[in-house]
Amino acid sequence: MSAATSDKRIAVLGAGISGLTCALRLAEKGHAVTLIEGSDQLGGLGTFFEHEGRTLEKFYHCLLPSDGPLLALLDSLGLREHVYWKPSSFAYAEGVSIFPLNTPIDLLKFAPLNFIDRIRVGITGAYGRIASAKGLDDITTAQWLSKWSGRGAFAKFWKPMLEAKFGDRYEDVPALWFWTRFNREKGESKGEVKGYVRGGYKHITDTFAAKLKQLGVTLRLNARIESVDLDEAGVPIIKTEGGAESYDQLVVTLPWPVFAKTAGARLKAASPATDWNIDFQGVINHLLFLKRPLTKHYWLATPGMEYPFDGIVETSTLTDEADRGNRHVVYLTKYLHRDDPRFAQPEAEIQSTWFTALQKLFPDLKPEDIETQFIFRAPFVEPVYTRGFMQRRPPEVMVPGRIFLATTTQVYPVVTSWNGSVIQATRTLESLV
C-alpha cells in the first residue's frame, strides 16, 4: 500500500465509473482519497449480480470502438487485452415484423416507410455524419429530424424512438443530443462492432478496487451520503449514517437529483447559479436467461404501443459463452420516469405482461424456454435534456478550491456512457487545484 504524499484530504462521493476514475487519478497524484459509495457495490449503473458463479450486468453494457478515453483507461489498468469485439446489428420491429436496419440496402427495403421517406431518412443519416454541431443545442431533435427526414418519416420512424427514450418530454430534447448519439453509434467505418470485457464489468471494478487499495485509497461501501454542505469557514462537510466528516475538497459524482436533495443551504447559497431542477429519466430492465436465441441482432427496437418495452437487447450476440454460460441473455428495456406508475409495477406483473408481449413477436417462444429471469430498476439514468442544455449543464467547479463535480449531468453533449463519464472525470480533474 502506498501512502499519500500530499496533505490534501479529498472525498469522492459515489463509486460509479466517474467516482472510480476520479479516485484513481487523484490517488495516483498522491492525495489522501476516500471513496464513499452508498450501495454495497462498485460500478454504479454498470453494476452486476451473481448467478451460478458468474457475474452479469444488471443493465446491458457494451463498449464501442469510439470509446477512446475509456479504452485508454482500461489499458492503464491492464484490461485492454481482455476486451473482445464482435459484429453487432440493429433491427426495428413494426407490428410483428422484424426489419434489419444496418445498411443502405436495408433502408431501401424498409417497408414501414414509403419509398420517398426511406430516401429522406437515408439523407438524414448521411447529412448527420457531416453536419456541424453548431447551433444544434438550440433547436430540438424533432425540428431537426422533421426538417431533414420530412414530417411523415419523423412521425412514423423517429418520433416513436424518441418517445421510447424520453416519453412525452421528447419534444424539447436538443438536436445536439441526437447528433452526438447518432455519430457515436455510427462512428465505425469497418461495419459495426461492439465490445465486452472478459469476466464482465465486475472484472473492471474488481481491478479498480485492487488498484485503489494498492494506492492507499480508503474505500467505503454502504455509506450513503445524507447531506453535503459547507461549514462556517467554507470547508466541505458531509454526513452519512456514521456522522459528519469534513474534507479539504469533495468531488461529487452522485446522480444529480440525489445531490440536489442532499445539498445543504450554505452550499446552495455559495453556488447561486446552479440549476438544481435537472430531472432524470429512469429505466427498468427485464433480464431473461433463455434456452434458445431470439434473433441475431444485438438491438431490436420495439417502439410500437403494443410492446411495454422499448427494445430487446440480446447481449449474448456479443458475449462469449465463458462469460454467460450456455444460455441466451436478453434484456427487455424500458426508459421511464421514476414517478410513472409503471416504474413501481410489481415484478411478477412485469414478468408476465412483458413476456406475453414478447411472445407476439416470437410466437414460438414458450415459458419453458426461460431458464430464469430478473427485474432491475434504476431511477436515475440520464438527464431529461432540454433545449439549450449546454447553459443548464453544471460547471466542473461548484465552489472554487472546495467542491468539484463529475456527474452524469455534465457529460452532455457526449453520450451518457462509461466513456462519457471518463471524459467528464478527466475534465473535472483538470480544473481541480
Ligand X SMILES: Cc1cc2nc3c(=O)[nH]c(=O)nc-3n(C[C@H](O)[C@H](O)[C@H](O)COP(=O)(O)OP(=O)(O)OC[C@H]3O[C@@H](n4cnc5c(N)ncnc54)[C@H](O)[C@@H]3O)c2cc1C
| CA 400 vs CA 64, 248, 337, 405, 431: distances in Å | 35, 12, 33, 11, 9
Buried b (16+ CB within 10 A) or exposed e, 394-413: bebbbbeebbbbbbbbbbbb
Does position 419 bind ligand X by CB under 6 A? yes
205 binds ligand X (CB under 6 A): no
Reading the block at residue 184, the C-alpha cell is 457515436
In angstroms, what is the minimal distance from the CB of 116 to ligand X? 34
Residues in region 249-278 near ligand X by CB under 6 A: 253-255, 258
Closest CA to 429 of 95, 55, 25: 25
Any contact of residue 45 with ligand X (CB under 6 A)?
yes
Contacts (Cβ under 8 Å, ≥6 apart) of 292:
328, 365, 369
Smaller CB separation from ligand X, 258 or 432: 258
Among 10, 11, 12, 19, the residue binding ligand X under the rule CB under 6 A is: 19
Q: Which is nearer to ligand X, 15 or 312 (CB)?
A: 15
- Residue from 48, 60, 170, 307 in contact with ligand X (CB under 6 A): 60
Give the pairing type, strands 32-36 and 9-13. Answer: parallel
When asked if residue 428 is in the footprint of ligand X (CB under 6 A), the reply is no
Q: Which stretch binds ligand X (CB under 6 A): 84-92, 170-178, 273-281, 417-425?
A: 417-425
Collapsed DSSP state (helix, strand, coil) of residue 410: helix
Residue number with CB closer to ligand X (304 or 311):
311
Which class for 24: exposed (0-12), middle (13-18), buried (19 or more C-beta within 10 A)? buried
CA distance 314 to 179: 25
Residue linked to cell 444529480 = 256
Q: Give the residue from 359, 347, 354 showing the smallest Cα distance to 331.
A: 354
The DSSP string of 336-403 is E-TTSGGGG--HHHHHHHHHHHHHHH-TT--GGGEEEEEEEEEEEEEE---TTHHHHSPPSEEETTTE
- Interacting residue with ligand X among 6, 9, 38, 357 (CB under 6 A): 38
* Contact status: 413 vs ligand X (CB under 6 A): no
Size of the site for ligand X (CB under 6 A): 36
Interface with ligand X by CB under 6 A: which range of 122-130, 151-159, 348-356, 416-424? 416-424
Q: How many helices (H) and strands (E) does the chain have?
A: 14, 20
Of 38 and 152, which has the nearer Cβ to ligand X?
38
| Nearest distance, CB of residue 105 and ligand X, angstroms | 27
Question: Distance (Å, rounded) from C-alpha 20 to C-alpha 171?
Answer: 34
Task: Tell me if 164 contacts ligand X by CB under 6 A.
Answer: no
Lay out the site mask for ligand X across 340-379 (x = CB under 6 A, - = otherwise). --------------------------------------x-
Only segment of 31-39, 74-82, 116-124, 181-189 that touches ligand X (CB under 6 A)? 31-39
Question: Among residue numbers 224 through 243, which ones bind ligand X (CB under 6 A)?
Answer: 224-225
Residues that bind ligand X (CB under 6 A): 13-19, 36-39, 44-46, 59-62, 224-225, 253-255, 258, 283, 285, 333, 378, 381, 408, 416-421
